[in-house]
């Protein structure tokens, strides 16, 4: 049984290895880098999370889909037969690492053998020359053949989590989820909770460079893409667009168009 987070990247590599029929995949579609995560295994916690998402992200992100998806995926995890080994695929970003902690907390009463496949760590080990230039910071970035090689290596070098390790991860989840912060980043090998406005100054800096001396409007989507391409964090462009709207509310930016979606409006600095 495989558990993965974010973009569903595992199906094709496993299918081509002719093992998809034997080994099942559970995929969390959530972005665990953002929004509240307190008591996320309960209906109350899920409601609080989705209320935040609905109130802050634009309608284009299909929040209702995620609201229906999370309870189903949790149920799938809790329904894994006790005799099946579980492989949890994770990379070095706040989304996948937070999701890992949540998954291990869900499995706290289970006796299954659990192995963590850290794709970033294995990428450095197995593709040393390429890794000197760039290490994919989320698992879905890794190309198919490399994912297959990582899978084979993980099967040949299994490291089953000990009870002590599992207890440590469970405590990490409780500590993290009790923090009311709504933005999590990956820094110096650990999840760090930061304030929502953490990237606001960087957004403003990038806007200044993009707008330049012309002082005219630029598309919000262009600004968000520029920022996202330089922060090397898996927080989602929807969160950055939310921060642009907050800067509009503060009077830093003015806009033209519709705030329904980032592709529908442009921004410039408010000179009033």
- 253 and 211 fall within a common domain: yes
Question: Does residue 203 sit in the same domain as residue 173?
Answer: no
Q: Which residues contact 171 (CB under 8 A, 6 or more apart)?
A: none
Lowest mean pLDDT among 9-18, 58-67, 143-152, 224-233: 58-67
Report pLDDT for 18.
78
Q: Is 22's pLDDT higher than 90? A: no
- Boundary residue ending a domain (118, 142, 177): 177
Same domain, yes or no: 143 and 260: no
What is the reported pLDDT for 19?
Answer: 75
The average pLDDT across 227-239 equals 94
- What is the predicted pLDDT for the residue at 64? 82
Report the share of the chain in percent with pLDDT over 90. Answer: 83
Q: 147 and 212 share a domain?
A: no
Instruction: pLDDT band for 20, please (50, 70, 90 cuts).
Output: low
In a domain, 149, yes or no: yes
pLDDT-based confidence at residue 123 (cuts at 50, 70, 90): very high
Instruction: Specify whether 108 is located in the same domain as 205.
Output: no
The pTM assigned to this predicted structure is 0.94
Identify which has the larger pLDDT, 68 or 239.
239
Between helices 63-78 and 43-56, what is the axis angle to 10°?
A: 150
Residues 8, 127 share a domain: yes
Classify residue 129: in a domain, yes or no.
yes
Identify whether 185 is part of a domain.
Answer: no
Q: How far apart are CA 176 and CA 246, in angstroms?
A: 25
Q: Is residue 214 over pLDDT 80?
A: no
Q: Is the pLDDT of residue 39 over 90?
A: yes
Overall average pLDDT of the 135-146 stretch: 90
List pLDDT tens digits, range 54-78: 999 987 667 888 888 999 999 999 9
CA distance 2 to 155: 12
Instruction: Give the span between the Cα atoms of 55 and 45, in whole angstroms.
Output: 16
Same domain, 95 and 214: no
Query: For residue 132, what are the domain limits?
Result: 2-177
79 — pLDDT class (breaks 50, 70, 90): very high
Look at residue 186 and tell me if it is in a domain.
no
The answer to whether the CB of 182 falls within 8 A of the CB of 48 is: no
Domain's final residue, options 177, 207, 231? 177
Is residue 49 located within the same domain as residue 171? yes
Q: Is residue 133 part of a domain?
A: yes
Mean pLDDT along residues 86-101 = 97
Q: What's the number of domains the chain is made of?
A: 2
Q: Are residues 200 and 173 in the same domain?
A: no
Which residue has better confidence, 228 or 271? 228
Residue 188 lies in a domain: no
**CB 199: neighbour CB atoms within 10 A?**
22
Q: Report yes or no: 105 and 43 within 8 Å, Cβ to Cβ.
A: no
**Pair 144, 238 in one domain:** no
Same domain, 258 and 205: yes
Q: Is 179 left (phi over 0), alpha (psi -120 to 50) or beta?
A: beta
Residues 57 and 139 in one domain: yes
Q: Any idea what the Cα angle at residue 163 is, between residues 31 and 100, rounded to 5°? A: 5
Distance CA 30, CA 52 (A): 14
Residue 92 lies in a domain: yes
């Amino acid at each position: 049984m495989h558990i993965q987070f974010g973009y569903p990247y595992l199906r094709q590599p496993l299918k081509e290895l002719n093992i998809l029929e034997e080994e099942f995949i559970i995929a969390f579609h959530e972005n665990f880098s953002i929004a509240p995560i307190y008591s996320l295994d309960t209906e109350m916690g899920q409601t609080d999370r989705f209320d935040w998402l609905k109130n802050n992200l634009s309608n284009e992100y299909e929040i209702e889909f995620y609201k229906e998806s999370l309870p189903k995926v949790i149920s799938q995890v809790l329904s894994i037969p006790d005799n099946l080994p579980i492989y949890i695929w994770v990379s070095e970003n706040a989304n996948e690492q937070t999701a890992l902690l949540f998954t291990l907390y869900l499995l706290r009463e289970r006796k299954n053998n659990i192995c963590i496949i850290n794709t970033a760590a294995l990428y450095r080990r197995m593709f040393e020359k390429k890794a000197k230039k760039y290490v994919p910071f989320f698992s879905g970035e890794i190309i198919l053949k490399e994912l297959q090689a990582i899978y084979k290596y993980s099967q040949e070098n299994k490291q089953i989590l000990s009870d002590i390790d599992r207890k440590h991860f469970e405590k990490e989840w409780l500590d993290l989820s009790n923090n009311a912060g709504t933005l999590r980043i990956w820094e110096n090998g650990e999840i760090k909770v930061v304030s929502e406005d953490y990237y606001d100054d960087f957004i403003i800096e990038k806007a200044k460079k993009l707008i330049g001396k012309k002082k005219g409007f630029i598309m919000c989507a262009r600004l968000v893409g520029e920022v996202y391409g330089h922060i090397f964090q898996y927080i989602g462009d929807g969160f950055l667009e939310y921060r642009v709207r907050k800067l509009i509310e503060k009077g830093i930016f003015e806009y033209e168009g519709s705030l329904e979606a980032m592709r529908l409006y442009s921004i410039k600095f408010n000179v009033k």
